[in-house]
Amino acid sequence: MKKTLIITGLFMFIPMLLMASEPEKKSSTMPEYGKWETFTTKDGLPANKIFCVRADGDRVWIGTSHGLVLYENDEFKTFTVEDGLAHPGVLSIDVSELTGDVWIGTLGGMNRFSAGEFETFTQFNSGLANDVIYSVVCDREHVWCATGGGAGHYDTYKEEWAIYTERNAPMHEPWTYGVCAGDNKVWIAAWGGGVIEYQYESGNFRDYIDPDGEMEIDLFPDDGVVHDITTAVSHANGILWVATYFGMSRYDGNHWKGYFDHDSGLASNFINFLKAKDDVVYLCTDEGLSTFNSEEWVSYKKTAMGGERLYWKDGESSTKSDPTGIAHSFTIGVDLQGDDTIWVATSYGLSRGTRIN
């Protein structure tokens, strides 16, 4: 009898030992930000209208309505047309991982900032499709830009341009608004034409449009991109995120999923920009900054008392006040610096937040 008890107890104890020896599995945590700081002209910025922000290691590049700004060593340095900038209105910025060159999209052409010098590309001195550059992205030796006259591709090795419009790509019109790259593909947000996908290997295009053709509402949920008026695209971890002025779409390569402010934690359907990093997408809307990891939402808004964080998961929502808050609820650009710092471009000031979880 005693032997039976000992053996039985031993078999019960073995799985407990095995369980104890396994490393603890960490659940994915939705990043949460606070301790917000606001920077305006009082702090050295040339303007309070901030269009974009791009972190580059210890440096941060900022696009404003009155010039390009470099934030480094706690100081702001402004570059203007006198320094070689194509136009004072800077709409987009990206940094080449290959060379460290900074590519700047403006309202009057595109710049490459290299070794302290500006090189300007316009439709008159290069193969640039149009001088209004809404978005620019560096992908290895390739530089892609979304312009008011089509998408542009510049091969920095061959120093050759290619232009894509409704004449040689499945676009309804040449106005493009956003571009991103990943998995040997490029995605272009085409105004009124959904999303255009370009494959490097084949050189072929395919388009993703709202199948129901309804311009006012999403008639059939999750049948494709929620609307044909797309404003931005971002790709990370095999997921394509698409911003529109009527909600957001998520595409995993097989299935589409739409998100709206009335049935999720999205702050507003009017999305100016989005950026995905790992499993989280950061969305700039006209009513605040929203973050989402495919399960839960955290949104940030400016209030008269500072700010507030809004939480949403599985249909349940809650709100928490924040004594600081983002600079303004009309958010236009966002980027992450390291694991703990977030920068947000707004219509009235630049915000820096610190991760608090």
Nearest CA among 60, 141, 151 for reference residue 105: 151
The residues near 197 (Cβ < 8 Å, ≥ 6 apart) are 185, 186, 187, 188, 205, 206, 207, 208
Nearest of 124, 125, 126, 132 to residue 150 by alpha carbon: 132
**Where on the phi/psi map is residue 216: left (φ > 0), alpha (ψ -120 to 50), or beta?**
alpha
Q: Which residues pair with 337 in a beta bridge?
A: 341
Closest Cα to residue 52, out of 86, 113, 93, 104?
93
The per-residue pLDDT for 224 is: 85
Q: Does residue 194 lie in a domain region? A: yes
Full-model pTM: 0.90
CATH code of the domain covering residue 322:
2.130.10.10
Residue 96 forms part of a structural domain: yes
- 14-23, 108-117, 316-325: least confidently modelled range: 14-23
Q: 25 lies in a domain? A: no
Q: Is 221 left (phi over 0), alpha (psi -120 to 50) or beta?
A: beta
Q: Is there a domain that residue 184 lies in?
A: yes
Within 10 Å of residue 339's Cβ, how many Cβ atoms?
A: 8
Domain count, the chain: 1
pLDDT score recorded for residue 28: 53
How far apart CA 285 and CA 288 sit, in angstroms, is: 5
333 backbone dihedrals φ, ψ, rounded to 5°: -150, 155
User: 174 is in which domain, residue-wise?
Assistant: 51-355
Reported as a single tens digit per residue, the pLDDT across 97-142 is 999 999 999 999 999 999 999 999 999 999 999 999 999 999 999 9
pLDDT per residue over 247-276, tens digit each? Answer: 999 999 999 999 999 999 999 999 999 999
Task: Confirm whether 12 is domain-assigned.
Answer: no
In this structure, is residue 175 part of a structural domain? yes
Does residue 18 fall inside a structural domain? no
The pLDDT tens digits for 169-226 are 999 889 999 999 999 999 999 988 999 999 999 999 999 998 766 656 666 677 789 9
Residue 44: what pLDDT?
97
Asked whether residue 35 is domain-assigned, the answer is no
